[in-house]
């Protein structure tokens, strides 16, 4: 079994933008539906009360990619992701989808430049095309953006 990389204990950006990927348990194709899409958008739209700003996202049948910026003084990424997964699991249960819903953990990457954000978004945005779900990324109904996120390197003094 491959050992997982440990999460960084400290991030030296005031408001980092994370690129996050999380998958379903056993890669079950349970996410690409209107109910989950609505729940994800509602979660992202209300996140500002907790200092979380969800940017662009793509819901694939068996995984989710998204960008999020957090006010690290209010909550951390692991807590936010747990809350997101719990919210989407509640919707899945309402839709009659039995547990387990999620793989343990998630993958995250702190963006280090505006170019990195643009490159990652273009790659993620094309995921449904590469998977053969649509011929044009703009036709995939389960992607979008909640908040406009822009990378800014904050100087720490």
Q: What does the pLDDT look like over 52-68, one tens digit per residue?
A: 999 999 999 999 999 99
Architecture of domain 17-145: 2-Layer Sandwich (3.30)
Q: What is the pLDDT of residue 57?
A: 97
Tokens of 157: 């003094």
Q: What is the pLDDT of residue 150?
A: 73
Q: Which range, of 32-36, 53-57, 66-70, 108-112, averages the lowest pLDDT?
A: 108-112
Nearest-10 crossing angle of helices 77-94, 34-46: 140
Residues 6+ apart with CB under 8 A from 33: 95, 142
- pLDDT top residue among 7 and 32: 32
3-state class of 133 per DSSP? Answer: coil
> Is the confidence at residue 73, as pLDDT, over 80?
no
**HEC sequence for 48-68:** HHHCEEEEEEEECCCEEEEEE
Q: Where exactly are the structural domains of the chain?
A: 17-145
> Is the confidence at residue 72, as pLDDT, over 60?
yes
Residues 6+ apart with CB under 8 A from 106: 20, 21, 22, 81
Which ranges of 4-131 would DSSP assign to H, the alpha helix? 34-46, 77-94, 114-125, 127-130
């Amino acid at each position: 079994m491959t050992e997982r990389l440990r999460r960084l204990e400290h991030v030296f950006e005031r408001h980092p933008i994370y690129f996050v990927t999380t998958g379903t348990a056993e890669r079950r194709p349970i996410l690409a539906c209107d109910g989950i899409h609505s729940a994800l958008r509602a979660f992202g739209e209300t996140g500002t009360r907790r200092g979380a700003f969800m940017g662009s996202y793509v819901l694939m049948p068996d995984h989710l990619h998204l960008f999020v910026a957090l006010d690290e003084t209010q909550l951390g990424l692991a807590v936010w992701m747990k809350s997101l997964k719990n919210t989407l699991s509640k919707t899945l249960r309402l839709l009659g989808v039995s547990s387990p819903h999620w793989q343990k953990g998630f993958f995250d990457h702190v963006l280090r430049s505006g170019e990195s954000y643009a490159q990652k978004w273009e790659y993620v945005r094309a995921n449904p095309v590469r998977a053969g779900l649509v011929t044009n990324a703009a036709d995939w109904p389960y992607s979008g953006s909640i908040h406009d996120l822009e990378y800014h390197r904050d100087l720490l003094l």
